[in-house]
Amino acid sequence: MLRALAIGLTAVSLSGCVTDGIVQDTSREAAKRVVTPIVVDKFPGGNTEAYSNCIIDNATTDEIFSLAKAAVTGVDQSTVNTVVTISTRGDTLKCFLKAELGSVTG
């Protein structure tokens, strides 16, 4: 009986992880659709796809969900400010630099 309960709880826990992963992936994709046009506007001539990935990769979970929400409700100044804030973080700037160096060398 305890073994069956443990197996059941494990299955429920794992399904939660899968669901969380799907929600997170979907949110990241929606957020990227919002970020990309902002990157084009704020960083003209930059490596748009790489910059967008850098921003998404360095966003907090709350920021990802906020950006994904903007895909439905529309982009406003707060959305732009969020993207700009993420883009000024050290790890994001390092990612931008790697993207640019990769495009030059590679």
pLDDT digits (tens, 9 = 90+) for 39-81: 999 999 889 999 999 999 999 999 999 999 999 999 999 999 9
92 or 100, which is more confident: 92
> Residue 25: what pLDDT?
76
Average pLDDT over residues 94-100: 94
**pLDDT recorded at residue 102:** 78
Q: What is the DSSP string of 10-69?
A: HHHHHHHHHHHHHHHHHHHHHHHHHHHHHHHHHSTTS-HHHHHHHHHHTS-HHHHHHHHH
**Angle at alpha carbon of residue 89, lines to 87 and 94, rounded to 5°:** 85
Q: Would you place residue 14 in the very low, low, confident or very high pLDDT band (cuts 50, 70, 90)? A: very low
